[in-house]
Amino acid sequence: MMDFVSLALAVVIAFTLLVARVLYVMSQSSKPARNTSQKSLSTLVVLGSGGHTAEMINLLNVLQKDRFAPRFYIAAATDNMSLQKARVFEDALGDKTSLQGAEFMQIYRSREVGQSYMTSVGTTLYALGHALWLMVKIRPQVILCNGPGTCIPICAIAFIFKVLGIRWSYIFYVESIARVKRLSLSGLLLYKLRMVDQLFVQWPQLQKQYPRAHYVGRLM
């Protein structure tokens, strides 16, 4: 009987500590970045098809390239155009701003367009496993994303790493300019679950609806 009570008590204590840690990590969102005095920060850039990549390239154009380096680009396994655009962007920079070059990777999608929600359960788990492997390999200090569903497994793993004290990656999410009245599903999930450190929107009315977001004006 005592062994059972001790085990139950240990489980309760462990669960309480876990919840406290999760709440602490969530409370740190929207606060200024800490310990960023390093000359450069390894940066993971999550790309998406269509306008997502165009907006991300515009964002990268205004960043200090030597500050956010080395850069790692990730796109969905079925999206070759986005990585090609990223390669063109990096090639145009030359050696002046690419401290350690750039790497380009692909990740499995959680759910393809038109895929049923039932079958997406398995593909989501697979995508999470792939995201875990990539995050262990890259261990980025900064994650930049702007809407594609591809970013959700990456951000989820990054959040878990924070909770477990493995790695504190700052997640910066810039909502697409196409989102005028409400956040995208990716943005809404990251906002509601407080997994993102800073969430930026490009329309003032969107910031009014989501007060923890930051209005930065239009990037395009």
In a domain, 220, yes or no: no
pLDDT band at 99 (very low <50, low <70, confident <90, very high): very low
> Do 49 and 25 sit in the same domain of this protein?
no
Predicted local confidence at residue 60, as pLDDT: 92
> Do 22 and 108 sit in the same domain of this protein?
no
> Do 20 and 54 sit in the same domain of this protein?
no
What pLDDT, in 10s, does the model give residues 100-109?
579 999 998 7
> Do 95 and 186 sit in the same domain of this protein?
yes
What pLDDT, in 10s, does the model give residues 134-185?
999 999 999 999 988 889 899 999 999 999 989 899 999 999 988 998 999 8
Percentage of residues in the chain having pLDDT higher than 90: 47
Residue 215: Cβ within 10 Å count: 13
In a domain, 35, yes or no: no
In a domain, 104, yes or no: yes
In a domain, 210, yes or no: yes
| Domain total in the chain | 2
> Do 119 and 66 sit in the same domain of this protein?
yes
For the cut 60, the answer to whether the pLDDT of residue 35 exceeds it is no
For the cut 90, the answer to whether the pLDDT of residue 36 exceeds it is no
In a domain, 101, yes or no: yes
> Do 105 and 211 sit in the same domain of this protein?
yes
In a domain, 211, yes or no: yes
> Do 207 and 126 sit in the same domain of this protein?
yes
> Do 22 and 54 sit in the same domain of this protein?
no
What pLDDT, in 10s, does the model give residues 70-83?
999 999 988 889 99
Those residues whose C-beta lies under 8 Å from the C-beta of residue 74, and which sit 6 or more positions away, are 44, 45, 46, 47, 105, 106, 107, 134, 150, 154
> What residues make up the domain containing 8?
1-29
For the cut 80, the answer to whether the pLDDT of residue 204 exceeds it is yes
Q: How many CA atoms within 13 Å lie on the side-chain side of 152? A: 21
Predicted local confidence at residue 150, as pLDDT: 86
Angle between the N-to-C axes of helices 2-27 and 151-164, in degrees from 0 to 180, rounded to the nearest 10: 120
How many whole angstroms separate alpha carbon 140 and alpha carbon 43? 5
What CATH number is given to the structural domain containing 206? Answer: 3.40.50.2000
> Do 72 and 159 sit in the same domain of this protein?
yes
In a domain, 36, yes or no: no
> Do 117 and 71 sit in the same domain of this protein?
yes
> Do 78 and 172 sit in the same domain of this protein?
yes
> Do 67 and 142 sit in the same domain of this protein?
yes
Those residues whose C-beta lies under 8 Å from the C-beta of residue 82, and which sit 6 or more positions away, are 47, 48, 49, 52, 53, 73, 75, 76
Give this prediction's pTM. 0.85
- Produce one character per residue of 187-213: b if its CB has 16 or more CB atoms within 10 Å, e if not: bebbbeebbbbbbbbbbeebbeebeeb
In a domain, 34, yes or no: no
